[in-house]
């Protein structure tokens, strides 16, 4: 069975102390994950080491960076490299969140480089894709997402691709309280899996975890995660509330 993952994306929220309290509240709630069920916390960069140390005795709980640069080192003021994450023991990174694409002009080409360098360092990229509202209204979401996959992921070898987690996040559903219906999520996840199958074969496609993101909450997680091609979620707002996120974790298949 594929990995089922609930990934928290804190974005640029919470003080260090608030972050500690939130993690303590979740980890001390008695929730335990085993087998194929995983939690990932994408915390702000200055909190990575703290979050990592808190996960020590919690199997299947991981920490992710929210972003990473495409170069290994050098004169890139303010950026964070893959080797830096490795040196902190961080093994997941979100790549290509729509906010990075929109506000920091990250292109499919740059994201391809970031995915590659993450994999070279044994860091699991959580690669985000998804369309904006006008694209959905024009019913062009499938070809839009296909292009994102082709330009950022499909030069990987099959072995490399199997180490990538994909997150489908329709931009019109992020932070808006407007979730894609579970049918819309399933439809796109199936499309993504079909695209992978067409390029790499059905067997490989069946191994890739595809998360849904966009206003996932405690009250809709179970239904969305229950769809056959949905393997968990990437959660923004609701991941900032311990009870909400715990319930989302319990909604994993
Ligand atoms: P949201 O954010 O859950 O607040 O909609 C999801 C995301 O941007 O990853």
* pLDDT, tens only, 89-110: 999 999 999 999 999 999 999 9
Ligand 1: centre distance to CA 174 (Å): 5
pLDDT tens-digit map of 143-170: 999 999 999 999 999 999 999 999 999 9
Instruction: Please name the residues in contact with 137: beta carbons below 8 A apart, sequence gap of 6 or more.
Output: none
Instruction: Please name the residues in contact with 127: beta carbons below 8 A apart, sequence gap of 6 or more.
Output: 95, 96, 111, 115, 152, 153, 164, 165, 166, 167
Catalytic residue selected from 106, 131, 169, 244 = 169
Mean pLDDT of 130-140: 94
Mean pLDDT of 223-232: 97
To the query of whether residue 187 is one of the catalytic residues in this protein, the response is: no
* Residue nearest atom 1 of ligand 1, based on CA coordinates: 236
Mean pLDDT of 5-12: 98
- The more confidently predicted of residues 178 and 51 is 51
Torsion of CA 76, 80, 84, 90, to 10 degrees: -170
* Residue nearest atom 6 of ligand 1, based on CA coordinates: 236
Q: Where do the structural domains in the chain lie, given as residue ranges?
A: 4-250
To the query of whether residue 189 is one of the catalytic residues in this protein, the response is: no
φ, ψ of residue 129 in degrees (nearest 5): -140, 170
Ligand 1: centre distance to CA 84 (Å): 26
What pLDDT is stored for residue 212 in this prediction? Answer: 97
Mean pLDDT of 4-9: 98
Between CA 199 and CA 112 the distance in angstroms is: 17
Q: Are 174 and 236 in contact (CB under 8 A)?
A: yes
Ligand 1: centre distance to CA 238 (Å): 8
Using alpha carbons only, how large is the chain's radius of gyration in Å? 17
φ, ψ of residue 63 in degrees (nearest 5): -115, 140
What pLDDT is stored for residue 180 in this prediction? Answer: 83
Q: Residues enclosing ligand 1, CB less than 6 A?
A: 9, 169, 174-175, 213-216, 234-238
- The per-residue pLDDT of the chain, averaged, comes to 96
Burial (CB < 10 A; 0-12, 13-18, 19+), residue 79, is middle
Of the candidate CATH numbers 3.10.580.10, 3.20.20.70, 3.40.50.20, 3.90.340.10, the domain formed by 4-250 belongs to 3.20.20.70
Pocket test for ligand 1, best of 174, 179, 237, 238 (most atoms within 8 A of CB): 174
* Residue nearest atom 7 of ligand 1, based on CA coordinates: 236
- Which ligand 1 atom lies nearest to the CA of residue 177? 5
Mean pLDDT of 69-94: 98
Ligand 1: centre distance to CA 193 (Å): 22
What pLDDT is stored for residue 246 in this prediction? Answer: 97
- Predicted TM-score (pTM) of the model is 0.97
- Which ligand 1 atom lies nearest to the CA of residue 174? 5
pLDDT score of 177 more than 80: no
């Amino acid at each position: 069975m594929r990995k089922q993952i609930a990934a928290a994306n804190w974005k640029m929220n919470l003080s260090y102390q608030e972050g500690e309290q939130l993690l303590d509240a979740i980890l001390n709630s008695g929730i335990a994950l085993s087998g194929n069920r995983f939690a990932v916390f994408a915390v702000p960069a200055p909190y990575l080491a703290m979050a990592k140390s808190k996960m020590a005795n919690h199997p299947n709980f991981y920490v992710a960076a929210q972003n990473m640069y495409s170069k290994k080192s050098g004169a890139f003021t303010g950026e964070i490299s893959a080797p830096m994450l490795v040196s902190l023991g961080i093994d997941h990174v979100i790549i290509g969140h729509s906010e990075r694409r929109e506000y920091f002009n990250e292109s499919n080409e740059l994201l391809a480089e970031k995915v590659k360098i993450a994999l070279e360092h044994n860091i699991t990229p959580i690669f985000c894709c998804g369309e904006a509202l006008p694209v959905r209204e024009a019913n062009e979401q499938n070809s839009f997402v296909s292009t994102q996959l082709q330009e950022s992921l499909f030069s990987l070898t099959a072995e490399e691709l199997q180490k990538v987690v994909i997150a489908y996040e329709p931009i019109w559903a992020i932070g808006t309280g407007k979730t894609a219906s579970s049918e819309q999520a399933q439809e796109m996840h199936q499309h993504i899996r079909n695209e992978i199958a067409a390029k790499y074969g059905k067997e490989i496609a069946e191994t890739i975890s595809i998360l849904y993101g966009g206003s996932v909450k405690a009250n809709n997680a179970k239904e969305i995660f229950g769809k056959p091609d949905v393997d968990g979620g990437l959660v923004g707002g609701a991941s900032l509330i311990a009870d909400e996120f715990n319930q989302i974790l319990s909604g994993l298949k």
